[in-house]
Amino acid sequence: MSFMAVIIMNVILVVITVILAIADKLLVSYGTCKITVDREGEDKEDFDVEGGDNLLTYLTDKGIEINSSCGGKGSCGYCKCIITSGGGMILPTEEIYMSRQEKAEGMRLACQVKVKQDMEILIPNFLTIIRQMVVNKKFDPNKRWLVKIK
């Protein structure tokens, strides 16, 4: 009997989750947002997106390379970028991956930033991120890295 109650409770939770996800997509609209990307040492690039998803998804869709070992799950801390405008406040899920200096600079995890308005971002050089992680003792050599060499 208790097994059946657990199954019913799980079904109810799944239905509520699906309803909330559908409501989020249908009721919340951020409209068209412009993302301006500045990669260290390269030309600026901008593009328009329909707001609502995370920044990492939009960058990946546009072919802009940004490192992410965990595939956007917020567990590796490698998709760091500096949000110069439009990113909102840093989330608690990001704080564990940032030093005080990085927080002051506006550093964020692209996988955790939801695009709700026009944004300007700076994607630091890959080696700059690694050096900062080593200095801040946040580097874990056991985690996989997505490295693309051109």
Mean pLDDT computed over every residue of the chain:
83
31-135 is classed CATH 3.10.20.30:
yes
18 band by pLDDT with thresholds 50, 70 and 90: very high
Comparing CA positions, the residue from 52, 47, 51, 77 lying closest to residue 64 is 47
Flag whether pLDDT at 78 surpasses 90: no
Per-residue pLDDT, averaged over 46-75, amounts to: 86
Q: What is the pTM of this model?
A: 0.69
Burial 105-126 (b: 16+ CB within 10 A, else e): bebbbbbbbebeeebbbbbbeb
More confident residue, 22 or 143: 22
**Predicted local distance difference test score (pLDDT) of residue 123:** 87
Tokens of 81: 């970028």
Q: Which of 65, 71, 74, 85 is nearest to 112 (CA)?
A: 74
- Per-range mean pLDDT, top range of 18-32, 51-65, 120-134: 51-65
**Domain coordinates in residue numbering, the chain:** 1-29, 31-135
Cα–Cα distance for residue pair 78/134, rounded to 1 Å:
12
